[in-house]
Homo-oligomer: A and B are copies of this chain.
Amino acid sequence: MATEIKVGLAGFGNVGKGTYDILERNHSLIRQRAGAPISVKRVTVRNVDRVKLLVDEDVIVTNDWHDLVNDPEVNVVVEAMGGIEPAKSLILAAIDAGKHVVTANKALLAEHGNEIFSAAQAKGVNVAFEAAVAGSIPIVKALREGLAANRVSSIAGIINGTCNFILSTMRDTGRSFDDVLKEAQRLGYAEADPTFDIEGTDSAHKLMLLSAIAFGVPVDMSKVHIEGITHLEAKDIKFAEELGYRIKLLGITKYTDYGIELRVHPALVPTRRLLANVEGAMNAVVVKGDAAESSLYYGKGAGSEPTGSAVVADLIDIARTAEVAVSERPRMPTTTHNPKAKSFADFGDTVCSYYLRIPVEDKPGVLAEIARILADNKISIESLIQKEAPLEDASTEIILLTHSTREADIQRAIRTMQQLANVRGAIVLLRKEELQ
């Protein structure tokens, strides 16, 4: 028999309210699919009075999260508070009390997942987190179950809607980053303090979880190379377009001979690839496996009900399998899973192809100097645009694409080029992902 679920819900913001609303509206449909009823018994929030007006009168609303842990009828805690504390204490206390946990908290899991998953495994409870990565998209389930026959070789995703909205709008309008960021804030696509999104931290948290699932590694945020989009210039978006690429902020993790790559950075994606055509605040993840080959998952990465959809899917899975032995449940990424897990790669060992924009004096011989430095570092050029019209101060810009090369080699070449008397400013480097 499926297990009736009485939810203790912590937090009634975006995700908490979305989860509650779906459970109310689709109650009978969810009961039918889960094989047992799922309802919210308790909510804990800071502002009790506000939330009492938004929920059924038989839902108990208090302002102390311990109430969820102490209620023996609550068998699943949904953590929708966000942030590290008190979310972490709540989750560990819920696990300790033998309750299953569902959370959308990517920052917490990416930073403290090892401790949380180990505690859950020791207690034989689930910590489910479909909502933590790419909102409504069932990508955690796709990786763990749908693609379970595959040895995954790489994952590349647009997993931050704020950044994708900004980049799509910069391309469509030719406007600057700062200008579009302000619009995104006005429209509610970016927060008042957008640092977490635009610096790439949020994408890195989600990427860390995807990598942990796909490759069975413990989470370790110190291994993620992170670059955001704050330094992107409108002209690089334009030049990329001329070369047949769109710039997207990607989270990329690959299983390679030299270790597992983990990196978040803006990347040139060929215009004909589906991923290049993901517009606005949408999310998409491309997975490559040895049997399924390439597949892509696309949808809303944020929002109240899209995220709630993923929380409720986890609740339905728990209702179906709560009484099943832990070994048969969908696997959790923990340190105990894969003792032979590959280690993370040094970022310098990453193999990529590159876009360089080099501001130079418009003099004969400049291109020869640059070409020589690249050759000395065994970097070969795939294509080159020397912008024809020199700028007003007699400087111009060389734009080139390289073939595949090691990150350490391109960085060394850039340091050397930067010393040239004819190079007039900072060289811009962007990476290219063919996603073949």
User: Distance in Å from the Cβ of A80 to the closest Cβ of chain B?
Assistant: 15
| Cβ-based interface call for A2 (8 A) | yes
| Cβ-based interface call for A37 (8 A) | no
Residue of B nearest to A2 (CB): B328
Known: A30-B149, A138-B142, A149-B316. A309 touches B292 (CB 8 A): yes
Interface segment among A183-191, A298-306, A344-352: the answer is A298-306
Known: A149-B30, A327-B2, A328-B2. A291 touches B279 (CB 8 A): no
CB under 8 Å from chain B, chain A span 292-341: 292-300, 303, 305-306, 308-313, 316-317, 320-321, 324-325, 327-329, 331
| Cβ-based interface call for A148 (8 A) | yes
Interface residues as binary, A267-303 with B (CB distance below 8 Å gives 1, 0 otherwise): 0000010100111000000000111111111111001
Contact of A142 among B33, B142, B144, B329 (CB under 8 A): B142
Contact A274 B277 (CB under 8 A): yes
Query: Could you say which residues of chain B place their CB within 8 Å of the CB of A306?
Result: 291-293
Contact B305 A292 (CB under 8 A): yes
Contact B316 A145 (CB under 8 A): yes
Query: Could you say which residues of chain B place their CB within 8 Å of the CB of A296?
Result: 296-299
Contact A295 B297 (CB under 8 A): yes
Residue of B nearest to A139 (CB): B146
Query: Could you say which residues of chain B place their CB within 8 Å of the CB of A313?
Result: 145-149
Contact of A300 among B137, B142, B292 (CB under 8 A): B292
| Cβ-based interface call for A59 (8 A) | no
Contact A151 B29 (CB under 8 A): yes
| Cβ-based interface call for A150 (8 A) | yes
Contact B299 A293 (CB under 8 A): yes
Query: Could you say which residues of chain B place their CB within 8 Å of the CB of A316?
Result: 145, 148-149
Residue of B nearest to A146 (CB): B138
| Cβ-based interface call for A1 (8 A) | yes
Query: Could you say which residues of chain B place their CB within 8 Å of the CB of A277?
Result: 272, 274, 277
Contact A141 B145 (CB under 8 A): yes
Contact A298 B279 (CB under 8 A): no
- Please list 24 pairs of residues, one from A and one from B, whose beta carbons are closer than 8 Å in the complex, sorted by A's number: A18-B291, A25-B290, A26-B291, A35-B327, A136-B293, A137-B295, A138-B145, A141-B142, A141-B145, A145-B313, A146-B310, A272-B277, A274-B277, A274-B298, A277-B277, A290-B305, A291-B306, A291-B309, A292-B310, A293-B299, A293-B303, A295-B297, A297-B297, A320-B329
